[in-house]
Amino acid sequence: MRTAQGHAELAAIAAAELSPAGQLQVSTALAMLAAVETQLNIIHRDVLDAAHRLRGAKVLRARLYGWGRSPRWR
């Protein structure tokens, strides 16, 4: 379900096995999942950007994990 191929397979199964109303429900659900995933990616990027700038986030990371700035957090 997390890939375009997974979505395409689900849509193909829906087309073969479901009524037009069921197909519409599946396609609507897939569109909503895509929209939510897009928004979550934006929020994830914003949170990482904030973690780079905010002193509290840096201190908390150092206390929790015992290290400072990591290449992954850049």
Whether pLDDT at 68 is above 80: no
The tens digit of pLDDT for each residue in 9-26 reads 988 999 999 999 999 998
Rounded distance between C-alpha atoms, residue 2 and residue 35, angstroms: 13
pLDDT at 45 over 80: yes
- Whether pLDDT at 74 is above 70: no
Q: Which residues, 6 or more positions from 7, have their beta carbon under 8 angstroms from its beta carbon?
A: 1, 30, 34
Report the share of the chain in percent with pLDDT over 70.
Answer: 88
CA distance 74 to 70: 7
- Higher-pLDDT residue of 61 and 48 is 48
User: What is the pLDDT at residue 30?
Assistant: 87
Structure tokens belonging to residue 30: 């897939």
CA distance 29 to 34: 9
Residue scoring higher pLDDT (45 or 56): 45
d(CA 10, CA 33): 13
